[in-house]
Structure 1
Amino acid sequence: MIKYSIAVDIGASSGRLILGYLENNEMQLKEIHRFENKIVQKGESFCWEVDKLFQEIINGLKKCNEMGIKPDSIGIDTWAVDFVLLDENDQPLTHAVSYRDPRTDGMMEEVFELFSKERLYLETGIQFQKFNTIYQLYSLKKSQPEILEKAKSFLMIPDYLNFLLTGKKANEYTNATSTQLVNAFTKKWDHQILNVLGINKEMFQEIHMPKTSLGNLSSEIVSEIGFDMDVILPATHDTGSAVLSVPEQDDSIYISSGTWSLMGVENYFPICITKALDYNFTNEGGMDYQYRFLKNIMGLWMIQEVKRNYLDEYTFAELVDLAREAKDYKAIVNVNEDCFLKPDNMIQEIMNSCVQTGQPIPSTPGEVAKCVFDSLAACYQTAVEEIEEIFEKSFSKINVIGGGCQNELLNQLIADVTHKEVYAGPVEATAIGNIVAQLISLGEMNGIKEARSIIKNSFEVKKYMPTTTVTN
Structure 2
Amino acid sequence: MAETGQQRYFAAVDIGASSGRVLVGWVEDGAVKLEEVHRFDNIQRRVNGHDCWDIEMLVEGVLAGLAACAERGQVPVSVGIDTWGCDFVLLDEAGQMVGDAVAYRDARTDGIFERADAVLPPADLYAATGIQRQPFNTVYQLMTLSEEHPEQLERAARFLMIPDYLVWRLTGVQVNEYTNASTTGMLDAVSCDWDPKILDALGLAHDLFLKPTMPGAVVGGLTPEVQARVGFDAQVVLPASHDTGSAYLAVPAQDESSIFLSSGTWSLMGVENPEPILTPESRAQNFTNEGGYERRYRYLKNIMGLWMIQSVRRELNGVEYVAGKHAEQGEAATAAQRAERRTYSFGDLIELARQAEPYEAFVDVDDAAFLSPDSMIAAIRQACGASGQEVPQTPGQIMRVIYRSLVGSYAAGVEQLRALTGRTFSAINVIGGGCQDAYLNQLTADACGLPVFAGPVEGTGLGNLAVQMIAAGEFASVGEVRAAIGRSFPIQRYDPR
- Per the shorter chain, which TM-score range? over 0.9
Per the alignment, residue 303 of structure 1 pairs with: 309
Looking at structure 2, the residues matched to 118 and 440 of structure 1 have their Cα atoms a distance apart, in angstroms, of 38
Q: What are the equivalent positions in structure 2 for 1:177-326 lying under 5 Å apart?
A: 177-248=182-253, 249-311=255-317, 313-326=343-356
Per the alignment, residue 470 of structure 1 pairs with: none
Looking at structure 2, the residues matched to 255 and 193 of structure 1 have their Cα atoms a distance apart, in angstroms, of 31
Looking at structure 2, the residues matched to 65 and 391 of structure 1 have their Cα atoms a distance apart, in angstroms, of 47
Shift of 1:3: 1.6
Matched residue SS, 1:456:
helix
Looking at structure 2, the residues matched to 316 and 132 of structure 1 have their Cα atoms a distance apart, in angstroms, of 30
Asked if 2 retains the 8 angstrom alpha-carbon contact of 1:421 and 1:465, the reply is yes
Asked if 1 retains the 8 angstrom alpha-carbon contact of 2:24 and 2:74, the reply is no
Shift of 1:330: 1.1
Matched residue SS, 2:423:
coil
Looking at structure 2, the residues matched to 423 and 102 of structure 1 have their Cα atoms a distance apart, in angstroms, of 37
List per-residue Cα deviations over 1:356-404 (Å, max 9, x = no partner): 0111111111111111111100011111111111122321111111011
**Aligned positions, number:** 467
**Is 2:119 the counterpart of 1:89?**
no
Looking at structure 2, the residues matched to 361 and 230 of structure 1 have their Cα atoms a distance apart, in angstroms, of 55
**Is 2:101 the counterpart of 1:101?**
no
Per the alignment, residue 483 of structure 2 pairs with: 453
Matched residue SS, 1:171:
coil
Matched residue SS, 1:208:
coil
Matched to 2:198, the amino acid is: I
List per-residue Cα deviations over 1:78-121 (Å, max 9, x = no partner): 00000000011110111110000011112233221112111111
List per-residue Cα deviations over 1:418-470 (Å, max 9, x = no partner): 11111000100000000000011111111101111111111111000000xxx
Q: 2:65 aligns with which of 60, 69, 91?
A: 60
Per the alignment, residue 339 of structure 2 pairs with: none
Asked if 2 retains the 8 angstrom alpha-carbon contact of 1:246 and 1:452, the reply is yes
Matched residue SS, 2:236:
strand
Per the alignment, residue 332 of structure 2 pairs with: none
Shift of 1:412: 0.5
Matched to 1:258, the amino acid is: G
Asked if 1 retains the 8 angstrom alpha-carbon contact of 2:18 and 2:43, the reply is yes
Shift of 1:353: 0.4
Per the alignment, residue 338 of structure 2 pairs with: none
**Is 2:23 the counterpart of 1:18?**
yes
**Is 2:334 the counterpart of 1:333?**
no
- Supply the RMSD in Å over aligned alpha carbons: 0.9
Matched to 2:17, the amino acid is: A
Q: 1:69 aligns with which of 58, 67, 74?
A: 74
Per the alignment, residue 124 of structure 1 pairs with: 129
Looking at structure 2, the residues matched to 246 and 70 of structure 1 have their Cα atoms a distance apart, in angstroms, of 27
Q: What are the equivalent positions in structure 2 for 1:335-354 lying under 5 Å apart?
A: 335-354=365-384
Matched residue SS, 2:97:
coil
Matched residue SS, 2:282:
helix
Shift of 1:61: 1.4
Runs of 4+ displaced beyond 2 Å: none
Per the alignment, residue 403 of structure 1 pairs with: 433
Looking at structure 2, the residues matched to 323 and 197 of structure 1 have their Cα atoms a distance apart, in angstroms, of 47
Shift of 1:206: 2.3
Matched residue SS, 1:311:
helix
Looking at structure 2, the residues matched to 40 and 323 of structure 1 have their Cα atoms a distance apart, in angstroms, of 33
Per the alignment, residue 439 of structure 1 pairs with: 469
Matched to 1:453, the amino acid is: A
Looking at structure 1, the residues matched to 450 and 350 of structure 2 have their Cα atoms a distance apart, in angstroms, of 22
Looking at structure 1, the residues matched to 472 and 289 of structure 2 have their Cα atoms a distance apart, in angstroms, of 28
Matched residue SS, 2:184:
coil
- Larger mean Cα displacement after TM superposition, 62-71 or 8-17: 62-71
Matched residue SS, 1:29:
strand
Looking at structure 1, the residues matched to 236 and 67 of structure 2 have their Cα atoms a distance apart, in angstroms, of 16
Per the alignment, residue 390 of structure 2 pairs with: 360
- Larger mean Cα displacement after TM superposition, 189-198 or 299-308: 189-198
Asked if 2 retains the 8 angstrom alpha-carbon contact of 1:121 and 1:277, the reply is yes
